[in-house]
Amino acid sequence: MAKMSANSIIGLVVGLILVAVLLPIGINQIATTVFDSAVDDTVITLIQLVIPIMAVIGIVLKMIPNES
């Protein structure tokens, strides 16, 4: 496993905090602006749930060391 310096860990933590704060705000703005009355509320809820889960999966896959 690759060694991580303190700077990279601090940068990762700050980035994750920013994503945790800004992603829900952005998703809410997109859902209320784009899908105002044309789309059912179930679709909006599904989008608001799937996008953060995909973001977390992407972060986890990025942090897993590559063996090759």
Total structural domains in the chain? 1
**Looking at the domain assignment, is residue 59 inside a domain?**
yes
**Looking at the domain assignment, is residue 37 inside a domain?**
yes
Structural domain including 42 reads 27-68
pTM: 0.52
pLDDT at site 67: 73
Cβ contact 23:52 at 8 Å: yes
Cβ contacts of residue 31 below 8 Å, gap of 6+?
44, 47, 48
**Looking at the domain assignment, is residue 7 inside a domain?**
no
Q: Cα-flanking dihedrals φ and ψ of residue 5, to 5°?
A: -80, 170
**Looking at the domain assignment, is residue 34 inside a domain?**
yes
Q: Mind listing the pLDDT tens digit for each residue in 5-61?
A: 788 778 878 888 888 788 778 877 877 776 666 777 777 777 778 877 887 788 778
CB-based contacts of 6-15 (< 8 A; 24+ apart in sequence): none
**Looking at the domain assignment, is residue 38 inside a domain?**
yes
